[in-house]
Structure 1
Amino acid sequence: MNLLQARPLTKEVFAPFGQVIELDGARQFDINGGTTRRFHDLAAIDALADGGRPIVNLFRAQPRSLPLRLSLMERHPLGSQAFIPLTTRPYVVVVAPDAGGRPGPLQAFITQGWQGVNYGRNVWHHPLLALGEISDFVVVDRGGEGRNLEESPLAGEVEVRW
């Protein structure tokens, strides 16, 4: 079994795979007569390929058992996919660069709980990895015609540690 060490999620280390959705560094301003603070344009949503449209979903993720073992990665060739947690519970993010149509070397990150991620189009990632309890996420991705999911089994099982 291969071991994968998760590290803290930051904008800089995640940039090759998409964006970290967080408030630090965001453009912000007051709206609604000063009663609301707007944190503006937090992720580059890419959903219009081949006539697609952005859709908003709620995903309710079951907590994963420990030790955390991975055997499959997925990607979305027609659009990005953003996950915004509705809790402050940390979760694990696993991504990989493309290596000839299959996942390359895996990288794992542990979130600070309130951080979201936006996977860029065609970025290999593991399905949701909630920890500890059922966790809800708002998910913004692509709706429309066309096959927007590719899955790839990993060559061997991988265990994530942090």
Structure 2
Amino acid sequence: MKRFVRPLTQSEFGAFGDVIQHYGGERRHRLSIDFCGEHNPMRQAFWVSKVSTATDLPNSIGQLERHPLSDQAFVPLNAVQFLVVVCPSRPDGMPDMEACEAFVAGPGQGIIYRRNVWHAPLSSLTAPAEFFVTMGVADNATNDEFCDLPSPLHIALEGGHA
């Protein structure tokens, strides 16, 4: 299966989460992020992730992940482009591979993945890259689920080869 990347916009990404960037003329643009859903007790976790090697396109993705208890946010700490691959769930909870979407986030953009949105692991098209990451965690529950794909998802530039 092949997906072509397109620029990340709120209107295209909105079913999966929010694009973190400033909109409009107001001084502040508030973000909606749910760190604990219905699960208590949860605490906010914060860390910085480093990506040492750039991802080239075309690329193949063999695994998706999701976080059933909390949204998860990624904010680049330097001017980078990064790959955003998302997928809704089928009724059985597994990724709906036919509905996967691929985006390129540009400099000045971050993302919030909503709870239960399947997504590819963090990969940057520019390296080195560092990201501020935050999500809810629970001491007595797992907030990370992984799915090995039965066949790789190929991601390419429009008109590119996979």
- Superposed displacement of residue 61, structure 1: 1.8
Q: Secondary structure at the match of 2:116?
A: coil
- Larger % of strand: which? 1
| SS of residue in 1 equivalent to 2:89 | coil
Kindly state the Cα deviation for residue 44 of structure 1 after the two structures are TM-superposed: 1.7
Alignment of structure 1 residues 70-85 onto 2, 5 Å: 70-85=61-76
Amino acid at match of 1:6: V
Alignment correspondent of 2:94:
102
Q: Structure 1 runs of 4+ off > 2 angstroms?
A: 24-27, 62-67
> Taking structure 1 as reference, are residues 65 and 138 closer, same or farther at Cα in structure 2, changes over 3 Å only?
closer
Alpha-carbon RMSD: 1.5
Deviation at 1:56, TM superposition (A): 1.6
Following superposition, the deviation at residue 53 of structure 1 comes to 1.6
- Who is 1:32 aligned against? none
TM-score normalised by L of structure 1? 0.86
**Secondary structure in 2 matching 1:50:** coil
Given that residues 22 and 29 in structure 2 are in contact (C-alpha distance below 8 angstroms), is that contact kept between their aligned partners in structure 1?
no
Alignment pair present for 1:15 and 2:18: no
Tell me which moved more, 17-26 or 2-11: 17-26
Give the deviation of 1:112 after TM superposition.
Answer: 1.4
Q: Which residue of 2 aligns with 1:87?
A: 78
List aligned pairs for 1:113-152, cutoff 5 A.
113-145=107-139, 146-152=141-147
Matched, 1:63 2:57: no
Residue of structure 1 equivalent to 2:148? 153
In the aligned structure 2, how far is the partner of 1:131 from the partner of 1:83? 15
List alignment gaps of at least 5 residues for structure 2. 158-162
Which residue of the other structure, out of 106, 114, 119, is the alignment partner of 1:112?
Answer: 106
**Separation of aligned partners in 2, 1:40 and 1:111:** 18
Q: TM-score, normalised by structure 2?
A: 0.86
Contact 1:55 1:143 in 2 (8 A): yes
1:86–1:53 Cα change, 3 Å: same
* Distance apart, 1:40 and its partner CA: 4.1
Q: Which residue identity does 1:54 align to in structure 2?
A: Q
Structure 1 counterpart of 2:5, one-letter code: A
Percent of aligned positions with the same letter in both sequences?
33
Sort the Cα spacing of 1:26 and 1:16 in 2 relative to 1 into closer, same or farther, 3 A: farther
Q: CA deviation at 1:50?
A: 2.3
